[in-house]
Amino acid sequence: MEIITPRLQLRDFVIDDWPAVLAYQSDPRYLRYYEWTERTEEQVRAFVGRFVDNQNAQPRTKFQPAIVLRADGRLIGNCGVRLPAPGARVAEMGCELAPDAWGQGYAAEAARAILAYGFEQLHLHRVWANCMAENAAAWHLLEKLGFEREGRLRDHEWFKGRWWDTLIYGLLEPERSPQ
């Protein structure tokens, strides 16, 4: 798959993308809201390998392309929709971005493009997402995209020696903003 936006190319991962992913996933700012305290080459090779494997599934249910800057070809993250089963009309959205690319509107640009793909090409009715309640940038992005906060799961995840609350968001096709 490939989606082109004004500043980004969303394209399928290739195995050789792992060094760029390792670079941003090793950043302490990235790791703050994940269970990992560090990332290894082996872990990230497996992470990228799963994306590549998902691309070859028939029928395909996971659409999680790499986010690449069109200006210089640098891979800065990924953003996608994942269906629970073939033909499903609901999907989970997830997005991650290299900390050096934060605050420049790239996540919103990529998420709008993947949502358009999900609603228009996959004929989704509902897309949902979750994030750590303390990750204000993540839930601000979801709200900017038109998602509604549907709930808060208190003490939902245990990692880094403490409990974390999770926020659940949803966006219905009739509610989404036109692109």
Question: In whole angstroms, how far apart are CA 15 and each of 5, 43, 94, 135?
Answer: 23, 13, 20, 30
> What is the three-class DSSP state of 4?
strand
- What's 50's domain CATH number? 3.40.630.30
At residue 133, the pLDDT reads 98
Per the structure, the complete domain to which residue 6 belongs is given by 2-175
Q: How many domains does the chain have?
A: 1
Peptide bond into 28 cis (omega under 30): no
Rounded CA-CA distance 53/123 in Å is 23
The pLDDT tens digits for 161-170 are 999 999 999 9
At residue 106, the pLDDT reads 98
Transcribe 151-176 into DSSP letters: EEEEEEEEETTEEEEEEEEEEEGGGS
pTM: 0.96
* Segments of the chain scoring below 70 in pLDDT: 178-179
